[in-house]
Amino acid sequence: MYINQTAGYWGQATSTIDWCEENYATTKYVSEFWNSFTNMFFFYFAYHGIKNSLKMGLEIRYVFCYLGMVLVGLGSFMFHMTLKYSWQLADELPMIYCTAVVLYCSYNASNLGKPSTIVPILLFVYSVLVTVTYVYLNIPAFHQVSYALLNFAILYYAYNDQQEIIRRKSRFQSDFNILLINTTFGFIISFFLWNVDNIYCDNLRAMRKVVPPFVAPLLQLHGYWHIGTAFACYNGILHQQLLRIACLGRERDIEIAYFNYVIPYIKFRKAPKL
């Protein structure tokens, strides 16, 4: 990662990672202004997800999924604002915790009986072990593999439940596919831009100096990682909720709608006019 030791309000960077955005270029109080404030999308999507979950009367565990997004967004905001190692951990480790909650939801989507007690215990132990090991080893690859394992487990359970529901000729089939596409490509495209930001940092910095000031922020490509992953996480949790609704047999009462033709959400179906 690009290392820039320019000091501002927060002093010298202590994080093991620094990004391509010029430190304290916008204000002396925020090290990476655009990388910080693009995390507002986590709060935006989480707010709508929580409000919608409560309105639809779904289990409280889905609210915790969206609260996990808030935790990730807050940690990332503070990390990019300060470039301090403690906030770096507050950015990276909540990714494990939030994903563990989503895995619990995925595991229980088709369970119509009493929720499992052993699974949350195992996920808690896993999260603690990852936390302690990562703080001790400080190897980014370990964190990435630990995070990936949780996501593969989510995909496994979600895929099995979705296939079973589709076999029952669910009217949610196209909605499932759209939400999965949004989730997958949200991660892939934002991950691609993140790596372009890393690899071509010098070129991007040179370009930001010659383009008009209002264009320069658009070339802060790591910020698109925050926007894309916030969108992907929101769609992924929504996919989990739709699976749960189908497993509970509430398909006739529920439908997917779109805010501004882009952002999906769950709502009650309107009764047909007589």
Instruction: Specify whether the CB–CB gap between 54 and 63 falls below 8 A.
Output: yes
- Is residue 222 annotated as involved in ligand binding? yes
Reference 223, options 209, 238, 208, 206; nearest CA is 208
pLDDT at 158: 86
Class of domain 33-268: mainly alpha
CA distance 11 to 22: 15
- Is residue 23 annotated as involved in ligand binding? yes
- Is residue 32 annotated as involved in ligand binding? yes
- Is residue 91 annotated as involved in ligand binding? no
Q: Tell me the domain boundaries of the chain.
A: 33-268
Q: What is the mean pLDDT of each run of 10 residues along the chain (274 residues)?
A: 65 89 94 97 96 89 95 96 94 93 90 82 96 89 90 87 80 87 92 94 95 94 96 94 88 86 84 48
Q: Give the number of C-alpha atoms closer than 13 A to the C-alpha of residue 188, restricted to the C-beta side.
A: 6
- Is residue 59 annotated as involved in ligand binding? no
Say what the alpha-carbon torsion angle 17, 22, 25, 29 is, to the nearest 10 degrees.
0
pLDDT in tens, 112-154: 777 778 999 999 999 999 999 999 988 888 988 999 899 889 8
pLDDT at 274: 44
